[in-house]
Amino acid sequence: MTATATPAGLKHVPVITAPEAAALVKSGQTLLVGGFGMTGNPVHLVHALAETDVRDLTYVANNVGEAGLSGGRLLRNGQLRRAIGSFFTSNREAVAAAQEGRLEVQLIPQGSLAEALRAGGAGIGGFYTPTAAGTVIAGDADVRVLNGREMVFVPALRGDVAFVRAWRADEAGNLQYRLTEQNFNRAMATAADLVVAEVEEIVPVGTIPPEGVHTPGLYVDYLVQATLTAEALGSSADVKGSAKKVDEARMHMARRALQELRRGDVVNLGIGIPTLVADLITPEHGVNLHTENGMLGVGPAPEQGGALDYPVNAGKIPVTALPGASYFDSADSFGMIRGGHVDVAVMGGLQVDAQANLANWAVPGKPLLGVGGAMDLASGARRLIVLMTHTDPDGTPKVVPECTLPLTSRGAVNMIITDRAVFEFRQGGLTLTELMPGATLDEVRASTGAPFAEAL
């Protein structure tokens, strides 16, 4: 299985089977696994590993697959000792394993995870980022003030073995990804001592034009050809499996948020209520939707079809691509966010307080297992709009004097839109600027926990 030179001077990457690839992984190693949800996930390689007796793995991925799929199968088999990722809550079995002490977890914001892998592949020891500053996620990390901003040190990440998924490879190991399947794959292909690429097809050298190569073959040690099926895509297999909770109050909030978006804005919509805004945007609005798993120019969801046919958004829902759309990997995507190139982020919330702090990722009594890209977006977007119900179901205010839930970001919120009111932060204070349909001023006064000025 050693590489040999081709007449063109390029190495010839060996083609092996999935079981042969699985045999390259040893107990106790760190395994990097590409994919965002099940999109771009090397599911055949991971499932072959699930047939072995390898144990005590450290599993590095955005999430641990889905229940019984990809990393979820390794978890079910008891093969994982530790998991490092950003969103474990997409797999209920991973949550249960963490709660029961069967799985050690390290939660990293999604953008920091992508950059840590990129740094590991680039020979950089780590980096400082404003993401997670002042939150429990920062833990005991080194914190410094750089360029006037508090920043948290994140060490680089590397693995012993990386399993990645690409659409095509040539015989020299050059990889080409499809649609939003770059996600974590590109960085992971650089950040391991041994890299196995699972691909849909293997073509002769020269078939992929140089400008179409996303991962150069020098990073790739072995190729495995495996055909992807809808069953391997889990919840992203068909758009019909992604039901949205829609009611008139939520639609009022979405319509009001749309009024804040301007032609030419680059906008990122969080999961939950903000996703309803996407259904209201038309080409005439001139808004360019960004999704953190690697796409700019997101269009509406298709009427039918899944991730075999379409890209997916950050909610793992199949979407269409508008003319002029582009695809990139997760590290580039979060570079856009942290670099201030996203004009508006519209996010859900659990609490917003009088100091413009946001809490939207963790609730008491539940494990802290799913931060995703929220911290990066909240601290990186030029403007942050929060959509949430005005109170909890029991009537407890969600606009509060001080957040009691774990913070997502500090001082970043510009506007709050609830089912009862619109608030803006002006001159450092919370100001009521508008009542939502059906709401009264007395009702808003009675159900808002934080003090506010009125400018109706």
Q: Half-sphere exposure of residue 350, counting CA atoms within 13 Å on the CB side?
A: 14
Question: Are β-strands 126-129 and 429-435 bridged in parallel, bridged antiparallel, or unpaired?
Answer: unpaired
Instruction: Identify the CA nearest to 318 among candidates 293, 339, 343, 340.
Output: 293
Q: With contact defined as beta carbons under 8 Å apart, do 230 and 198 qualify?
A: no
Q: Which residues are catalytic?
A: 292
Q: State how far Cα 10 lies from the chain centre.
A: 35
Task: Please choose, from the candidates 294, 289, 223, 240, the residue with its C-alpha nearest in 3D space to the C-alpha of residue 35.
Answer: 294
Max Cα-Cα span within the chain: 80
Q: How many angstroms separate the Cα of 26 from the Cα of each of 60, 79, 85, 302, 432?
A: 15, 11, 21, 42, 59
- CA 145 vs. chain centroid, Å, equals 26
Sorted by sequence, the CB contacts under 8 Å of residue 237 that are 6+ apart come out as 230, 231, 306, 307, 308
d(CA 270, CA 87): 14
Determine the Cα–Cα distance for residues 65 and 35; give it in Å rounded to an integer.
Answer: 9
407, amino acid identity? L
**3-state helix vs strand vs coil in the chain, percent to 5:** 25, 30, 45
* DSSP conformation letters of 236-281: GS-GGG------HHHHHHHHHHHTT--TT-EEEE-SSTTHHHHTT-
Cβ-contact 33, 188 below 8 angstroms: yes
- CB neighbours of residue 103 within 10 Å: 22
Q: Decide the pairing of beta strands 80-85 and 57-60.
A: parallel
Q: Pick from 387, 412, 288, 386: which is nearest to 341 by CA?
A: 288
